Amino acid sequence: MDLVMPNVTGIDVLEVLHHKNFEVPVIVISADIQAMTKERCKRLGAVAFINKPIKKDKVTKTLREVIASLKENTK
């Protein structure tokens, strides 16, 4: 999910998911590379953060890591 979207921000979406206790794995994709933004996203439940511009190898690696973590957590 991007942090900058029309009508709502990615942070807003993460806050709603967090407050409603939805356990949805969210990967944030953003050009905002500030450590504070990344930490806020993680506190709100984001499982990963990918910087823009997007690199195919980074997306592939991140998806594999998230899927492996999800499989491990469901055992």
Distance CA 17, CA 33 (A): 22
- Please tell us whether the domain made up of 10-73 is placed in CATH 3.40.50.2300: yes
Residue 17 backbone phi and psi in degrees, to 5 = -60, -45
Residue 72 in this model has a pLDDT that exceeds 90:
no
pLDDT of 74 above 80: no
Q: Pull the structure tokens for residue 69.
A: 């973590």
> Taking the model in full, what pTM does it have?
0.85
Q: In which band, very low, low, confident or very high, does the pLDDT at 73 lie, cut at 50, 70 and 90?
A: confident
Task: Please name the residue that has the structure tokens 């996203």.
Answer: 41
> Which residues are within 8 A (CB) of 23 and not within 5 positions of it... i.e. 6 or more apart?
45
pLDDT digits (tens, 9 = 90+) for 18-50: 999 998 999 999 998 899 999 999 999 999 999
All structural domains of the chain with their residue ranges? 10-73
**pLDDT of amino acid 28:** 96
Question: What are the start-end ranges of the E strands in the chain?
Answer: 26-30, 46-51
| Mean pLDDT for the chain overall | 93
